[in-house]
């Protein structure tokens, strides 16, 4: 009876460890810093902008892992920033970059290995490209050591449709 209980206990323990894990996810560097919650709201023409890509670029001595901070806005124009798959951002001052691109046209092509790509598509931006340029964007945020969600609202102006480039991918 004691042996049966021991085997059962070991099986339960192994199952829990495999479900819960032990420590940080494998894609997170060992020296990864503490991160803090941050929410960016993007509006265009006074309304929430859905499916805009928001990313951070560190200014000065901001953490080296911050280049991986990004998120996509939801139907309410809100993006909860994520770094290495974790909700939050390391402390520091960042430029806030925002873009919303759309491909039109092109044809689907399959290569010799079965991979499909779109060729000849035209890429358009629905936001003035200054918001996706770290030298031109007017938006910055300082992430501090605090538990409360740090928020910033960004107004990207009037909706546009600006040709960016032809692409193959």
- In this predicted model, what pLDDT tens digit does every residue of 35-45 receive, in sequence order? 999 999 999 99
Pseudo-torsion of CA 82, 83, 85, 87, nearest 10°?
Answer: -40
CATH number of the domain that 65 lies in?
Answer: 2.60.40.10
Q: What is the mean pLDDT of residues 122-128?
A: 90
- The span from the CA of 56 to the CA of 91, in Å, is 12
* pLDDT score of 4 more than 50: no
Q: Is the pLDDT of residue 166 over 80?
A: no
What radius of gyration, in Å, describes the C-alpha atoms of the chain? 22
> Using one digit for the tens of pLDDT, what is the confidence trace for 62-97?
566 666 789 999 999 999 999 888 899 998 899 999
Query: Which residues are bridge partners to 105 per DSSP?
Result: none
pLDDT at residue 53 greater than cutoff 90: yes
H or E stretch covering 41: strand 38-44
Domain housing 55: 2-168
Number of domains forming the structure of the chain: 1
């Amino acid at each position: 009876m004691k042996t049966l209980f021991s085997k059962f206990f070991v099986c339960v323990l192994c199952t829990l460890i495999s479900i819960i894990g032990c420590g940080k996810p494998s894609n997170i560097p060992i020296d990864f810093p503490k991160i803090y919650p941050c929410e960016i709201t993007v509006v265009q023409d006074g309304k929430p902008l859905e499916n805009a890509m928001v990313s951070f670029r560190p200014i000065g001595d901001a953490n080296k892992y911050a280049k991986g901070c990004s998120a996509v806005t939801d139907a309410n124009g809100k993006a909860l920033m994520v770094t290495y798959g974790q909700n939050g951002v390391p402390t520091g001052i960042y430029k806030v970059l925002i873009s919303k691109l759309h491909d039109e046209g092109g044809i689907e092509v399959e290569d010799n290995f079965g991979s499909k790509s779109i060729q000849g598509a035209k890429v358009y931006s629905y936001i003035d490209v200054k918001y996706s340029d770290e030298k031109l964007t007017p938006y910055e945020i300082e992430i501090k050591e605090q538990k409360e969600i740090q928020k910033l609202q960004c107004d990207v102006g009037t909706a546009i449709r600006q040709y960016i480039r032809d692409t193959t991918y």
